[in-house]
């Protein structure tokens, strides 16, 4: 029996990699397919090895091919990582930083946007993914609401070209949906959208890719932890104990045995109020010392305390993150945080 190459590919299109919600051929996981007599040999490219999905997908591919071409067919499958292949969609991204919180309203997206700017100020090449599927805010904060990403083709695959603003490469679900209407998606649709933002985009070479996660501990967080090599997570809280109760749950999730992502530290947002006309004054209107106490409770560093100033909201609404203003105490606080994160990761 002659084994037809095109038929092999068609059979493998029936094998789904559920973590990314598509088949292994269209995901670009099939590599170096060779057919010699009754032997079918190929590599499967995974984000990382050591996960149950590697064996599940490999076994599914082998079973499908044997059922099609006969049980005597010799199937040789070698799993490799995207890094080993050197061409994975995130192969050029050196570090991925997740910005998380347990609840909404703590300024997580504002922190993510300004952290990306601050990291860029340190001389790093930076990207920002707005993975807050149900409440995308990056298009507003960067003033690109009316813009849309482009498309390119690499290795026969269409890829999204992120928008670039203030030197930051940006992608958000907000670029692809009507943000005036509620996004009524089940979990698998949300995780599929996240996978597209990450792996169907041409990110190029980046030192840091910052991911703004939605609040909580749901499907998006699980997909990110299980399917991608995350350098570390930053958790954001405000000084109130009610906020920290939810943040603690988010931080604990990343410490689970099967979801281990290093916690780089905690950022205390809205730590104190600084009047515009008295930048050296600090009024701890929610109490002092809570951020350090929260960080100590989680056994992680306190990366920084971000003050409340009127310009944070106005600059974000105007599409110009406050970290761009070198004279702002908030910008200085974010640069300090960025330098601490760099030192932790690059030590």
Task: Reply yes or no on whether the pLDDT at 126 is more than 70.
Answer: yes
Quick one: average pLDDT of 242-265?
77
Sign of CA dihedral 57, 19, 300, 336: positive
Task: Reply yes or no on whether the pLDDT at 276 is more than 90.
Answer: no
Lowest average pLDDT, out of 79-83, 115-119, 325-329, goes to 79-83
Query: Sorting pLDDT into bands at 50, 70 and 90, what band is 68?
Result: very high
Residues whose CB is less than 8 angstroms from the CB of residue 120 and which lie 6 or more positions away in sequence, other chains included: 126, 166, 167, 168
Sign of CA dihedral 72, 75, 76, 79: negative
Q: Name residue 78's beta-bridge partners.
A: 43
Task: Reply yes or no on whether the pLDDT at 193 is more than 50.
Answer: yes
Global pTM?
0.72
Please write the tens of the pLDDT for every residue from 223-237: 777 777 788 999 998
**pLDDT score for 27:** 82
301: left (phi over 0), alpha (psi -120 to 50) or beta: beta
Residues whose CB is less than 8 angstroms from the CB of residue 228 and which lie 6 or more positions away in sequence, other chains included: 47, 48, 90, 96, 198
> Whole-angstrom Cα distance, residue 64 to residue 68?
6
Q: Decide: helix, strand or coil at residue 165.
A: strand
**pLDDT score for 262:** 87
Burial class (CB in 10 A: 0-12, 13-18, 19+), 118: buried
Strands 16-17, 22-23: pairing kind: antiparallel
Q: Which CATH number fits domain 96-346: 1.20.1440.120, 3.40.50.300, 3.40.640.10, 3.10.20.90?
A: 3.40.50.300
Quick one: average pLDDT of 135-139?
84
Task: Reply yes or no on whether the pLDDT at 184 is more than 60.
Answer: no
Quick one: average pLDDT of 201-213?
90
Domain boundaries, the chain: 5-84, 96-346
Range 227-230 contact pairs with CB under 8 angstroms and sequence separation of 24 or more: 227/19, 227/20, 227/47, 227/195, 228/47, 228/48, 228/90, 228/96, 228/198, 229/47, 229/48, 229/83, 229/96, 230/96, 230/97, 230/98, 230/261
Q: Which CATH number fits domain 5-84: 3.30.300.130, 2.60.120.260, 3.10.290.10, 1.10.357.10?
A: 3.30.300.130
Please write the tens of the pLDDT for every residue from 291-330: 888 888 888 999 999 988 878 877 877 888 899 988 888 8
Task: Reply yes or no on whether the pLDDT at 87 is more than 50.
Answer: no
């Amino acid at each position: 029996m002659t084994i037809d190459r095109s038929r092999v590919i068609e059979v493998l299109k029936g094998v789904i990699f559920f973590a990314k919600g598509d088949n292994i051929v269209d995901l670009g996981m099939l590599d170096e397919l060779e057919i010699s007599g009754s032997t079918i040999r190929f590599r499967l490219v995974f984000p990382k090895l050591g996960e149950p999905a590697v064996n599940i997908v490999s076994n599914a591919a082998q079973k499908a091919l044997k059922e099609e071409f006969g049980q005597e067919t010799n199937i040789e499958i070698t799993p490799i990582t995207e890094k080993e292949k050197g061409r994975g969609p995130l192969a050029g991204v050196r570090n991925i930083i997740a910005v998380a919180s347990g609840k909404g309203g703590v300024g997580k997206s504002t922190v993510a946007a300004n952290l990306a700017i601050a990291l860029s100020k340190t001389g790093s090449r930076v990207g920002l993914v707005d993975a807050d599927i149900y409440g995308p805010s990056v298009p507003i904060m960067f003033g690109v609401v009316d813009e849309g990403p482009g498309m390119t083709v690499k290795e026969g695959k269409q890829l999204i070209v992120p928008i670039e603003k203030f030197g930051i490469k940006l992608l958000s679900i907000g670029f692809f949906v009507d943000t005036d209407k509620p996004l009524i998606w089940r979990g698998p649709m949300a995780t599929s959208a996240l996978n597209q933002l990450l792996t169907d985009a041409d990110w190029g070479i980046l030192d840091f890719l910052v991911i703004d996660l939605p609040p909580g501990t749901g499907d998006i967080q699980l997909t990110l932890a299980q399917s991608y090599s995350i350098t570390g997570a930053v958790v954001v809280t405000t000084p109130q104990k009610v906020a920290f109760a939810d943040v603690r749950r988010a931080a604990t999730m990343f410490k689970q045995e099967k979801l281990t992502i290093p916690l780089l530290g905690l950022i205390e947002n809205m730590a104190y109020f600084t009047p515009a006309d008295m930048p050296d004054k600090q009024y701890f209107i929610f109490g002092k010392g809570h951020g350090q106490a929260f960080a100590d409770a989680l056994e992680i560093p306190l990366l920084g305390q971000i003050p409340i100033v009127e310009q944070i909201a106005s600059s974000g609404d105007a599409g110009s993150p406050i970290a761009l203003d070198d004279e702002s105490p908030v910008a200085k606080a974010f640069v300090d945080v960025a330098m601490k994160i760099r030192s932790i990761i690059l030590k």
